[in-house]
Amino acid sequence: MMKRWLSIVICLLLLMLNISCDQITKDLVRKSVSENERISLIGKHLTLTKVENSGAFLSIGQEWNDIARNFFLIILPSIILLSGLIFIFKSRKINKWILIGASFVIGGGIGNMIDRILHGSVTDFLHLKIGSFQTGIFNMADVSIMIGMAFLIYTSLLRSRGNSENYST
């Protein structure tokens, strides 16, 4: 278990790292890549393609009216992200893997939220294709969210098997 002050410091550092990585890469793409331009990074397996997404995951909500889009893509996620931060900051003891996972998810969420508020859309630019598997176009905030969720799911699986340290918060 981690002490409260150490948890806050680690959380803030991870938030800054995730948000910075996301915003720097998006800024570089906005300045250097034309809309829908395709640049091969690793053959046809990893490509860079700039797309502005005014919706959420896989463009869900892109067709919604402004009130619904603002509520479901800005207001509600902001409340959830703030609740996550409050949970971390108020926890007297928190498992290090939950702290890391939650910090990555929150950092990625904030990165995409910054785009929605400042630009009205989220800049996505990476596409991965390996054999018949391929992703939608995503960004570094999405990578942060997925890494964070992997930490949280893994920790949850350990907890359900009774293989982890004390999880009291």
Name the residues annotated as catalytic: 124, 142
Burial (CB < 10 A; 0-12, 13-18, 19+), residue 66, is exposed
CA 101 to each of CA 93, 124, 162: distance values in angstroms, whole numbers, following the listed order: 15, 22, 19
How far apart CA 130 and CA 8 sit, in angstroms, is 38
Phi, psi of 37 (to 5 degrees): -70, 140
- For residue 22, CA distances in Å to 8, 32, 33, 99 come to 21, 15, 16, 20
